[in-house]
Amino acid sequence: MEARMKQERLYDEDVYTVHPEDYRALCERLAGEGYDFPRAISGIDMGYGLRVTLQLTRMKDLAKVTVRTDVPYDNPVVPSVTDLWPGVEWYEREAYDMLGLRFEGHPDLRRILLEDEWALHPLLKRYDTGGYPVPGWEPKPWPDPEPWAPPPPPEPEEAGEADEGGEAS
Amino acid sequence: MSTMSLEPVPGRSDEMIVNMGPQHPATHGVLRVVLGLEGERITRAVPHIGYLHRNHEKIEEARTYPMVIPYTDRMDYVSGTQNELPFVLAVEDMLGIEVPDRAKKIRTMFFELYRLASHLVWMGTAMLDLGAISPFLYTFWDREIILGIVEKTAGARMLPNYYTFGGVRRDVHPDFFKDVADFLDHMERRMVDYEHLVLESPVVHARTIGVGVLSKERAVARGVSGPVLRASGVAYDVRKAFPYDAYPDVEFEIPTSPDGDTYARFWVRFQEMYQSIRILRQLVELTPKTGPYKGKAPARIKPPAGERYRAVENSRGELGVLVVSDGTDKPYRVKHRGAAFSNLQIVPDLFEGAKFSDAIAILASLDPVFGEIDR
Amino acid sequence: MSLLQEVWQAVKAIGTGMATVHKRVYEEAPTEFYPYVKPDLPPVSVQSLALVENEDGSERCIVCLQCERACPAQVITIERHRNPEGKGFLIDRFDIDLVNCMYCAACVEACPVSSIVTIQDFEMSTYDLQTLKADVDFLHEQARRARQWYSPKFGVEVRTEDGRIEKAPPEMQPGGLAEILKPAEEVDS
Ligand code: SF4
Ligand code: SF4
């Protein structure tokens, strides 16, 4: 598991980027460490796939963490964490509604803001603000090194940017 | 939003399915709750939201950074400038913009004025839900004064578009500090009346004490914040936990109540209004009357690639925003963490087992604003 | 609680309620008798937009498209052509869709010559939304009818009785007067 996780410090938060298969295990570990206040789950369309960003606070000492995981467009399945933090229930529904992320194990995964019959997931970058396909939109190749690849040891500062560089390429 | 109703439970012919909303006056906008009723008692409750959805997040991706600010205004429309602050703070962090001390204090003054305005609207509408009409008229009367003060400086009353990267858009009106001081005197007199009409009223006691109890653990796990969380005994306030703007310079307390019932939520909001008055009194003294109101900000706002989450404590709780930048002049993604959105999730927990008339009181104590929930 | 106590509680509550309501009867009511008494709006209040012309009737706008670029609602449409005689550009089309405008005044802030301004005229209710799709004549007309207007660069300006455009006296100006008026003076000369 260690090889498939990147840990960095961004401003005042610990940021973990993990492989989707390890996402659930990491969340369970964090819940065990006392992170009890779920701030939000955000879905982000990265251009090569979809990113889930889970943000947590520990009420005891106000430590903040962010957990990120990237999934491909053709199989956007992420394990749900509603049983660990019931407060993310609506945020997971919102991410499903807006980006089509499917949270496995969510008790009631329906659209939340749009109608049940709505045809598309509007926050995907392949649609413009009017809901029409963006001409010439193509998914980018999966970043290499992978987003959760740990940075090479000598220059941790530089490697922290590697993730963003991969997204821009 | 969903057209879904509740499926009847087989063998439970005594359960009645009732739609509360979306055009129900007690839902403070357009909330629809499908209720399963057994006589007066609620057995099941499923809230449906989204009737006011505009997809701000998609629009904001197509706008440049300064253009996003007026859009954020339109989320929590009763608390004006409070919505702009998380986005402004996040972008300032990414760009490393310095905000002059005076600008921070002016921002905080507007922030607290709008907290008073928002709590006044809450008090009026909550009492209206409980059947009292006079407090509604009085609180809107007082709120009018706040909006008048804001309009004199910012040019608009509810959606002022006043904060900007590095400070505020224009200096305050020369009368601003005097107006605020006068208003605080007025407000202190009025608070005595409101205590009589709301907190000490036996009708309010009968309708709220022991109703809709939310336990501490449940509240935290559900991501509830703001007065609702503090009424359950958790002293979490972003103003103290992660101070921003001028809050480190002023003294105030975080009122909490251990009870977690509807009355506790009423009480906590009242105490917050006293704290707001206290903060404003200090700021009227502390803020220099003249000086810079805006720091140096680049002409073209282009944060470096990266992401930043910033939160503020607005009238309803932790209002956060996650800004993801890809180095261009448009945000790659703006994700709003709505305080009222998170707070509304506890509706099924609190409604189940309550009486129907209590549901109205519980909903009033959560103070939802649908501009922000539906975004 | 005994019955007597309950009765006493009820009487007390009604008493305080009545006393509070009674107190308000003698206070000045905040109600405005709107169609008969026009509200006294602060000069910076954003109620509508107008396009100011110079005193001699020439165009103040230099058609730089800054306002179009700054508009978050993207409701300003400008078309221009080069001035055949002299410098600069001339307006072909200057439309603002006042229906979808959100009165954020970002355009007013962006304008380098304070040509587009905010005015206090809010009485624009209509049965036909098409009438609010303002073109350049509509916006000029708004400015001609206005007694005063505001822009961050020039502060509050007033139209005098004999049609001249002047800076409003300091007591009408919003905050930051010194900072506002200084650079404006230089631009004017
Ligand atoms: S006020 Fe705002 S929305 Fe209206 S035209 Fe100007 S910039 Fe656009
Ligand atoms: S109104 Fe002002 S900003 Fe707009 S084109 Fe004319 S001069 Fe430029």
**Predicted confidence band at A167 (pLDDT cuts at 50, 70, 90)?**
very low
Edge-to-edge strand ranges of the sheet holding C89-97: C76-82, C89-97, C133-134
Two structure tokens written together for B163: 């904060």
Which tens digit of pLDDT belongs to each residue from B77-92? Answer: 888 888 889 999 999 8
Two structure tokens written together for A158: 């530089």
Which tens digit of pLDDT belongs to each residue from A86-142? Answer: 888 889 888 888 888 888 888 888 888 888 888 888 888 888 888 788 888 888 888
Contact criterion met (CB below 8 Å) for B279 and A137:
no
Contact criterion met (CB below 8 Å) for B194 and B135:
yes
Instruction: Give me the pLDDT at residue B274, please.
Output: 92
Edge-to-edge strand ranges of the sheet holding B32-38: B16-20, B32-38, B41-48
Please state, in angstroms and rounded to a whole number, the distance separating the CA atoms of residues B142 and B193. Answer: 12
CB contact under 8 A, B220 and A129: no
CB contact under 8 A, B322 and A40: yes
Residue C22 lies in a domain: no
- Per DSSP, C134 falls in state E
Nearby residues of B314 by Cβ (< 8 Å), 6 or more positions away: B76, B79, B82, B83, B115, B118, B226, B339
Q: Is the model's pLDDT at A163 over the cut of 50?
A: no
Of C47, C53, C78, C55, which Cα lies nearest the Cα of C140? C53
Nearest-ligand number for the alpha carbon of C74: 1
Number of structural domains chain C divides into = 1
pTM: 0.87
Instruction: Give me the pLDDT at residue A164, please.
Output: 46
Task: Determine the structural domain holding residue C127 and report its residue range.
Answer: 48-176
Please state, in angstroms and rounded to a whole number, the distance separating the CA atoms of residues B100 and B47. Answer: 44
- Collapsing DSSP to helix, strand or coil, C47 comes out as coil
CB contact under 8 A, C106 and B161: yes
Which tens digit of pLDDT belongs to each residue from B263-280? Answer: 998 999 999 999 999 999
Which tens digit of pLDDT belongs to each residue from B133-153? Answer: 888 888 888 888 898 888 888
Residue C14 lies in a domain: no
Which tens digit of pLDDT belongs to each residue from C7-54? Answer: 888 888 888 888 888 888 887 777 778 888 888 888 888 888 888 888
Residue C34 lies in a domain: no
Q: How far is the CA of B30 from the centre of ligand 1 (A)?
A: 28
Instruction: Give me the pLDDT at residue B277, please.
Output: 92
Of all protein residues, whose CA lies closest to atom 3 belonging to ligand 2? C111
Please state, in angstroms and rounded to a whole number, the distance separating the CA atoms of residues B349 and A7. Answer: 36
Which tens digit of pLDDT belongs to each residue from B308-323? Answer: 888 898 888 888 899 9
Q: Residue A68: how many CB atoms within 10 A of its CB?
A: 22
Cβ(C119) to ligand 1 under 6 A? no
Q: How far is the CA of C116 from the centre of ligand 2 (A)?
A: 6
Residue C27 lies in a domain: no
Instruction: Give me the pLDDT at residue B4, please.
Output: 66
**Predicted confidence band at B166 (pLDDT cuts at 50, 70, 90)?**
confident
Domain spans of chain B, in order of start = 56-374
Please state, in angstroms and rounded to a whole number, the distance separating the CA atoms of residues B198 and B203. Answer: 9
Phi, psi for residue A162 in degrees, rounded to 5: -60, -35
Residue C16 lies in a domain: no
Please state, in angstroms and rounded to a whole number, the distance separating the CA atoms of residues C148 and B62. Answer: 35
Q: What is the mean pLDDT of chain A?
A: 81
Please state, in angstroms and rounded to a whole number, the distance separating the CA atoms of residues B148 and B360. Answer: 31
Two structure tokens written together for B253: 């307390």
Q: Is the model's pLDDT at A5 over the cut of 80?
A: no
Report the pLDDT averaged over residues C50-74.
Answer: 84
Q: Which domains does chain A have, with CATH numbers?
A: 2-129+140-166 (3.30.460.80)
- Atom of ligand 2 at shortest distance to CA of C111? 3
Q: What is the mean pLDDT of chain B?
A: 86
Q: How many CB pairs under 8 A join A and B?
A: 112
Q: Shortest Cα distance from C158 to chain B (angstroms)? A: 17
Alpha helices in C56-121 (DSSP H): 66-70, 106-110
Assess: ipTM above 0.85.
yes
What residue type is assigned to position B338 of the chain?
Answer: G
Instruction: Give me the pLDDT at residue C176, please.
Output: 52
How far is residue A106 from each of residues A92, A122, B127, measured CA to CA in Å? Answer: 8, 21, 37
Instruction: Give me the pLDDT at residue A2, please.
Output: 53
Q: Is the model's pLDDT at A3 over the cut of 80?
A: no
Nearest-ligand number for the alpha carbon of C132: 1
Residue C85 lies in a domain: yes
Q: Shortest Cα distance from A49 to chain B (angstroms)? A: 14
Please state, in angstroms and rounded to a whole number, the distance separating the CA atoms of residues A64 and A30. Answer: 11
Which tens digit of pLDDT belongs to each residue from B171-226? Answer: 888 888 888 888 999 888 888 888 888 888 888 888 888 888 888 888 888 888 88
CB contact under 8 A, B161 and C41: no
Please state, in angstroms and rounded to a whole number, the distance separating the CA atoms of residues C116 and C149. Answer: 10
Which tens digit of pLDDT belongs to each residue from A31-73? Answer: 888 888 888 898 888 888 888 999 888 888 888 899 888 888 8
Instruction: Give me the pLDDT at residue C186, please.
Output: 42
- What's the number of CA atoms in the CB half-sphere (13 Å) around residue B36? 16
Cβ(C98) to ligand 1 under 6 A? no
Phi, psi for residue B193 in degrees, rounded to 5: -60, -45
Instruction: Give me the pLDDT at residue A159, please.
Output: 46
Ligand 2 pocket residues where CB is under 6 Å: C 61-67, 78, 110-111, 113, 115-116
Residue C86 lies in a domain: yes
Which tens digit of pLDDT belongs to each residue from B20-46? Answer: 877 777 777 788 888 888 888 888 888
Please state, in angstroms and rounded to a whole number, the distance separating the CA atoms of residues B81 and A114. Answer: 27
Q: Is the model's pLDDT at C99 over the cut of 50?
A: yes
Chains that touch C (3 or more CB pairs under 8 A): B
Two structure tokens written together for B248: 């480190």
Phi, psi for residue A102 in degrees, rounded to 5: -105, 125
Alpha helices in chain A (DSSP H): 20-32, 89-99, 156-168
Instruction: Give me the pLDDT at residue B114, please.
Output: 92
**Which domain CATH number covers C104?**
3.30.70.3270
Instruction: Give me the pLDDT at residue C185, please.
Output: 42
Q: How many CB pairs under 8 A join B and C?
A: 86
- CATH value of B56-374 in 1.10.510.10, 1.10.540.10, 1.20.1050.140, 1.10.645.10: 1.10.645.10
Q: Pick B202's closest partner by Cβ from C9, C42, C106.
A: C9
Cβ(C104) to ligand 1 under 6 A? yes
Q: Which of B83, B134, B171 to mutate to test the interface with C (most CBs of C within 10 A)?
A: B171
CB contact under 8 A, C9 and B171: no
CB contact under 8 A, B242 and A38: no
Q: Is the model's pLDDT at A20 over the cut of 70?
A: yes
What residue type is assigned to position B335 of the chain?
Answer: K
Beta strands in chain B (DSSP E): 16-20, 32-38, 41-48, 163-164, 167-168, 306-314, 317-325, 333-337
Report the pLDDT averaged over residues B90-100.
Answer: 88
- pLDDT-above-90 percentage for chain C: 0
Least confident of A78-82, B48-52, B268-272, C166-170: C166-170
Contacts of A123 in chain B (CB under 8 A): 55, 57-58, 61, 333
For the purposes of burial, counting CB atoms within 10 Å of the CB of C52, is it exposed (0-12), middle (13-18) or buried (19 or more)?
buried
Of all protein residues, whose CA lies closest to atom 5 belonging to ligand 2? C63
Let me know the angle formed at the C-alpha of B258 by B370 and B231, rounded to the nearest 5 degrees. Answer: 15
Please state, in angstroms and rounded to a whole number, the distance separating the CA atoms of residues C165 and B263. Answer: 58
CB contact under 8 A, B3 and A116: yes
Which letter, b or e, does each residue of A124-144 get, where b requires 16 or more Cβ atoms within 10 Å of its Cβ? bbebeeeeeeeeeeeeeeebe
- Atom of ligand 2 at shortest distance to CA of C94? 5
Of all protein residues, whose CA lies closest to atom 4 belonging to ligand 2? C67
**Predicted confidence band at B360 (pLDDT cuts at 50, 70, 90)?**
confident
